[in-house]
Amino acid sequence: MPGKRIAAIGRYRFIKQLTFGCMVLPGTVLYIMFFIVPIIWGIYYSFTNYNGVARKYSFIGLNNYIMGLKNPRFLSSLSFTLRYALCLVILVSIISLCLALLLNQKFALRKYVRAIYFLPAVLSALTVGIVFDEIYARALPAIGNLFNTASMSMNVLSRKNTAFWGILFVHFWQGLAIPTVLFLAGLQVIPEDLVEAAMIDGAGKVQRFTHITIPFLMPIISIVLVLALKSGLLVFEYIMAMTKGGPGGSTESLAYLIYNHGFIERKFSTAVAESIMMAVLICGISFIQISWSNKRRVYQ
């Protein structure tokens, strides 16, 4: 009897594992086919001079990577992308935290304000970019001419020194909702008894914020920073809808440069090499940021 029981348990476990394996197999095959295999082929093509169309191409080693790092256009796009991502991370993380603290307070119509505030997050980035492109091109200049204001009479996106901030504002406006919701969720799980104990001990609002709120929000802060950083480094839709890299290439991000090289200029291998360098950059910055935030989080 014990031997038969052990054999039955073994068969049950085998059937269970086989069932799980069959359920996971289709997704695993699709993931390998449409994600892993293209990455491997992309890495291979980055060492060639393949243009995306021709059947014949040759192996050129690290030439695409070397030429990319020496290309002033690539360096300019890299500089724009890093500055853009840094500004977006700072603005989104600070403003969303402040808004979350405000929306966490009890006031009339709080639920309706939260719902209206989240509306931009459900819109597509391309749609928002097209709408704001019309606002910058028609609405704001009309208002500037009406009030005889020279700074508003011209299209913000038509000048190099203001196009950067015009795109950043649109991205910031739409990208603020989800981080705010995440911070709101984090604020609501902070133990109230801990806050009350700090108040009894005489801790002020600033002390409670720095020694209780921030440590408990570190996991959320880490997520928000990674999301904002990824969104800033991969900015594409807003540039496509509003400036197409102009004026004079001043708003050409790395993602838009890769798109131009791969689909417009037929420099497929160059675009793949640039995308790999971009992926390494994102992974490196994200790893540093996550390691920094994990050292300061509170483990419950």
pLDDT, one tens digit per residue, over 252-269 is: 999 999 999 988 888 889
Burial letters 153-183, b for 16+ CB under 10 A, else e: eebbbeeeebbbebbbebbbebbbbbbbbbb
Cβ neighbourhood burial of 266 (10 Å; 0-12, 13-18, 19+): middle
- Distant-in-sequence, close-in-space partners of 241: CB < 8 Å, separation ≥ 6: 125, 126, 128, 129, 130, 133
Q: Tokens for 292? A: 């920094």
> What's the pLDDT band for 30 if we cut at 50, 70, 90?
very high
- What tens digit of pLDDT does each residue of 137-148 get? 888 888 888 888
pLDDT of residue 237: 92
With vertex at residue 110, the alpha carbon angle to CA 104 and CA 113, rounded to the nearest 5 degrees, is 105
Taking residues 125-144, report their average pLDDT: 90
Cα–Cα distances (Å) from 225 to 46, 62, 97, 129, 222, in that order, read 30, 32, 12, 23, 5
Predicted model pTM: 0.85
In this model, does residue 235 exceed pLDDT 90?
A: yes
What is residue 48's DSSP assignment? B
